[in-house]
Structure 1
Amino acid sequence: MTDRTSVLLVDDQELIRKGFAMILDVEDDIVVVGEARDGADAVRKVAQLAPDVVLMDVQMPDMDGIAATERIVAEHPATRVVILTTFDDDEYLFASLEAGASGFLLKNCPPDELVQAIGREGHSLLAPEVTQRVIERSTSRAPRERDPRLETLTDRERDVLVAMARGQSNAEIAAGLFVSSATVKSHVSSILAKVQARDRVQAVILAHESGLMDDAD
């Protein structure tokens, strides 16, 4: 199948890589194309394999996941990097965000969350616990001024962005707005283009930093 999402698994522990591979190999629309044991190995493998998604550990010898993410995002912008983190590693989390990661999962997340995060929708996924920490960090440091880019959004796009910022998935947004998932995907793509966000993570942070959520019910 040519429409399957290709994944590179990056972790210095082989047991963890094999465990994730077992979870993903049963999915019809996902294929694991390779594994890497550290950041430097990941950079090389991305250049060779051009995966759609890299599932990236953070703490690794030689080159860590943050440095590898920065390299991969800069050199291969079509490849998304989803970071695996632990709840206590805030500094790694925010450094990864600055490096350009498109999603964050906790290592003990349920298998279905892992599958969703690297699925074919092309939008990032944030673990709920991680979302809250990102929001708290960004809003505590930023002035609450309405970003002019938000004025380019339609009312429905604003509704979708608010729902995204609340951590809702496309399916949940579709159910809440009584529209199809395809319509929501179209709105999300339009939102990212209008606010000049490279992914869902940046759009969510913008919604909170700009004070948009202060006006939401």
Structure 2
Amino acid sequence: MTERPRPPATTVLIADDDMLARRAISDYLSMVEDFNVVAAVTDGAKAVEFITNHGVEMALLDVNMPRMDGIEAASLIHAASPGTMIIMLTSFDDDDLLRRALASGAAGYLLKNLRAAQLIAALRAARQGLPAVSPEMLASLRTPAAPANAFPALTPRETEVLEQLWAGRSNAQIAAALFISQSAVKAHVSSLMTKFGTQSRLETIARAHDLGFSGPH
């Protein structure tokens, strides 16, 4: 019986000014075959430069770095390479930093206290479109910030999709639950992001909660 060829490994850039942290994260990802670290840099400016010139599928950014911090780098990377998934990987469990990172285009916010297996599982979940947030930070998403405007008008289907996102389900799981195609799910998610003025699924959930959404009833 012929084995199915494995999908190519996800290319990863690590940006962290701490040499030990860069080495540890790289070592963690080298333990598995579905991630391939192609660059490890010391600041946000170098991360932006590398991704603009070469492109990667996933960027792991520390928040506090010299020359350019991770949040500014995330915003520039998101603009230059929208297909790059940005994950903040940091020691700062700060609510404001979490929200600023999501607003800059980050798809996740993970703390460096994760073990190797936890980090790999979180990155795999993010790759499947699931929220990637350390458990310690989840409470931040349930603590509303001051709303800047009213909750947008949603169609019944968009409300159902938002409820599914809130439950942490992937596109495939949402499609199965609502008996629609995955392409339809993507279209509804895109519409939700437009209406909420957000740049990621996770930021959409946080923004909806800020405006009073509390999940399915």
Which TM-score applies when normalising by structure 2?
Answer: 0.78
User: Cα–Cα, structure 1 residues 212 and 28, in superposed 2: closer, same or farther, change >3 Å?
Assistant: same
Determine whether 1:151 maps to 2:162: no
Q: What CA distance in whole angstroms lies between the structure 1 residues aligned with 2:101 and 2:163? A: 28
Determine whether 1:49 maps to 2:77: no
Q: What CA distance in whole angstroms lies between the structure 2 residues aligned with 1:207 and 1:104? A: 18
Q: Which is helix-richer, 1 or 2?
A: 1
Query: Partner of 1:16 in structure 2?
Result: 21
Letter in 2 for 1:130: M
- Give the paired residue count: 204
Query: Partner of 2:210 in structure 1?
Result: 209
C-alpha deviation, 1:64, in angstroms: 1.3
C-alpha deviation, 1:206, in angstroms: 3.5
Query: Partner of 1:162 in structure 2?
Result: 166
Query: Partner of 2:3 in structure 1?
Result: none
Query: Partner of 2:191 in structure 1?
Result: 194
- 1:75-113 Cα distance to aligned partner (Å, 9 max, x none): 111111100233543333332222221110011023233
Determine whether 1:132 maps to 2:136: no
Q: What CA distance in whole angstroms lies between the structure 2 residues aligned with 1:211 and 1:98? A: 18
C-alpha deviation, 1:3, in angstroms: 2.9
Q: What CA distance in whole angstroms lies between the structure 2 residues aligned with 1:116 and 1:76? A: 24
Letter in 1 for 2:85: R
| Preserved contact between residue 11 and residue 35 of structure 2 (Cα < 8 Å) | yes
Partner of 1:83, secondary structure, is strand
Letter in 2 for 1:129: E
Query: Alignment RMSD, CA only?
Result: 3.1
Letter in 2 for 1:107: K
Determine whether 1:40 maps to 2:45: yes
C-alpha deviation, 1:74, in angstroms: 1.2
Gaps of 5+ in 2: 1-5
Query: Partner of 1:112 in structure 2?
Result: 117
Letter in 1 for 2:116: P
User: Cα–Cα, structure 1 residues 184 and 36, in superposed 2: closer, same or farther, change >3 Å?
Assistant: farther
Aligned-residue identity in percent: 30
| Preserved contact between residue 104 and residue 127 of structure 1 (Cα < 8 Å) | yes
Gaps of 5+ in 1: none
Q: What CA distance in whole angstroms lies between the structure 2 residues aligned with 1:43 and 1:143? A: 30
Q: What CA distance in whole angstroms lies between the structure 1 residues aligned with 2:163 and 2:64? A: 37
Which TM-score applies when normalising by structure 1?
Answer: 0.78
Query: Partner of 2:30 in structure 1?
Result: 25
| Preserved contact between residue 69 and residue 96 of structure 1 (Cα < 8 Å) | yes
